[in-house]
Amino acid sequence: MTASVFANERLLFNPATPDSDAIRTIFAFPNEYSVGITSLGYQVVWATLAMRSDVQVSRLFTDIHEQLPRDPELLGFSVSWELDYVNILNLLESLEIPIRAKARSSSDPLVFGGGPVLTANPEPFADFFDVILLGDGENLLGDFIAAYKEVRNSDRPTQLQHLAQVPGVYIPSLYEVTYHDPTGTIKSIEPLAAVPNVVEKQTYRGNTLSASTVVTEKAAWENIYMVEVVRSCPEMCRFCLASYLTLPFRTASFEGSLIPAIERGLAVTDRIGLLGASVTQHPEFDALLEYLSKPEYDHIRLSIASVRTNTVTEKLARLLAKRDTRSLTIAVESGSERLRRIINKKLDNDAIIQAAVNAKAGGLSSLKLYGMVGVPGEDMADLEQTVAMMKSLKKAAPGLRLTLGCSTFVPKAHTPFQWYGVNHQAEKRLQFLQKQLKPQGIDFRPESYNWSVIQALLSRGDRRLSQLLELTRHYGDSLGSYRRAFKALRGQIPDLDFYVYSDWSRDRVLPWSHIQGPLAQATLLKHLAAAEAEMDKVGKESQLVRC
């Protein structure tokens, strides 16, 4: 079974033949193969390692693996989803490696991790990793390997101390976190050795972005070849990790990156996926459309990530329909223009309606909208306006199938809304939308509120949560399991409300205060002040109306 899965892969790179003394490395994705091999980040890092003759890399997933080295020196994890931490711990145990970094000896591999989850806030998982790579892998990975080679034969403390000097390489054990009391806020985060006080997330600023390094029918998206069109997003919605954590907005060179990448992909498959938080805002997106409209590409299947609403033209819809795409996804967040001003969503309802009209005119059969409840500043009137907007869309584009996917606001590190907690009324607000929209024939798909609570816990968590995560793993991954673990640890760590629901003071030490993202905290506070000025403006307006 394992051999046939890997034999089915079509590689778009040439692996190197490892040197006799190559670094024995396992690179893991803490989920099944079909999920992991669909992660563009995992693909690219694996290929980067496999193309080096000084590294011998084997892949590991929860269900299958390549032949693993007997005594690995490095064990890496690409982490894209918070709840995959359970599989990280399970895989460590299966390899007979201690779960906690402090329990490992020089005979154990250095366990490193990277990816969006660990870059945003590594602290809940910090005790499980020797090394965490913060930021883009293009430069960081090579710097990490080069630094490791310099201390390859040294003892573990020397290795960690040396690696900590590399920009973007975070060694959690070399930083001490103290608390005002066991269930209180953080008092300080201090380096224990001659290492940087603050670790800066590394940003790749080139214009050659990522593309698939392997195509396989066993991927979650069968036989898809993925091309990164843009990185980050220029809109900067104030809750959005995908924008703030990955700034600045970068675009792939049309002639130097995009077209060559697409041509490489089309040599092995007829399914292309265009990736990015705001694909249609590539400055040469129209030229890309023209390129993909060529008659010789009539056979290809084209998938496109979420697009900015006011870029949904009839021309775009027509091309997608012709390329076997039936639906398009846009993020609108709310039907309330007031709320969109608070979150910095530069969009009006007329543009949303026009997108629906254009989608139908271009031949698409459905339009999926992403919304959110519980955003700071939201009240019930905002939800009523979302219902009204969806009704307007149904009337403006009859016959177009409408889906509203809706999540609960979750505070994310390095965003202006990181200081706000989850709204206690969010679950009821999801139920309100369900009740209002279902009779209208609108497909309402809420994300799990309970999962949002767990996500918020891990998004805002500190190192004390490692105790909770180890305990919860044996209970299961339901919200009830987490509550049971909190009960067992009462008095030893803060409660659920502390992490999830409470609004935090602006001057408190955050769990990630020693991690520098793209924007300084002072800048995030300015963005937050702009949002709260909009909230205050609305409050004053409503007072005038009552008068």
Partners of residue 199 on adjacent β-strands: 515
Instruction: Mark out the alpha helices in 306-423 (DSSP H runs).
Output: 314-322, 337-343, 349-361, 380-396
Predicted pLDDT at 478:
81
Pairwise CA distance, residues 163 & 171, whole Å: 8
Predicted pLDDT at 305:
84
Taking alpha carbons only, the member of 227, 400, 395 closest to residue 312 is: 400
SS3 breakdown of the chain: % helix, strand, coil, rounded to 5? 45, 20, 40
Pairwise CA distance, residues 357 & 355, whole Å: 5
Residues for the chain: how many in total? 547
Q: What are phi and psi of 430, to 5 degrees?
A: -65, -40
**Farthest CA pair distance, the chain:** 82
Let me know: does 208 contact 256? Beta carbons within 8 Å: yes
CA distances from 177 to 103, 124, 151, 180 (A): 19, 12, 27, 10
Q: Is the peptide bond before 248 cis (omega within 30 degrees of 0)?
A: yes
* DSSP-derived secondary structure letter, 193: S
Question: Token match 């380096």: residue?
Answer: 191
CA distances from 233 to 283, 329, 395, 460, 544 (A): 13, 16, 31, 23, 37
Which of helix, strand or coil describes residue 412? coil
pTM for the full predicted model: 0.95
Q: What are phi and psi of 75, to 5 degrees?
A: -130, 115
373: part of which helix (H) or strand (E)?
strand 366-373
Digit-by-digit pLDDT tens for the chain (547 residues) are 577 899 999 999 999 999 999 999 999 999 999 999 999 999 999 999 999 999 999 999 999 999 999 999 999 999 999 989 999 999 999 999 999 999 999 999 999 999 999 999 999 999 999 999 999 999 899 999 999 999 999 999 999 999 999 999 999 999 999 999 999 999 999 999 899 999 999 999 999 999 999 999 999 999 999 999 999 999 999 999 999 999 999 999 999 999 999 999 999 999 999 999 989 999 999 999 899 999 999 999 999 987 899 999 999 999 999 988 889 999 999 999 999 999 999 999 999 999 999 999 999 999 999 999 999 999 999 999 999 999 999 999 999 999 999 999 999 999 999 999 999 999 999 999 999 999 999 999 999 999 999 999 999 999 999 999 999 988 887 889 999 999 999 999 999 999 999 999 999 999 999 999 999 999 999 999 999 999 988 555 544 333 3
Question: Token match 């003892």: residue?
Answer: 155
Which of helix, strand or coil describes residue 428? helix
Pairwise CA distance, residues 304 & 320, whole Å: 8
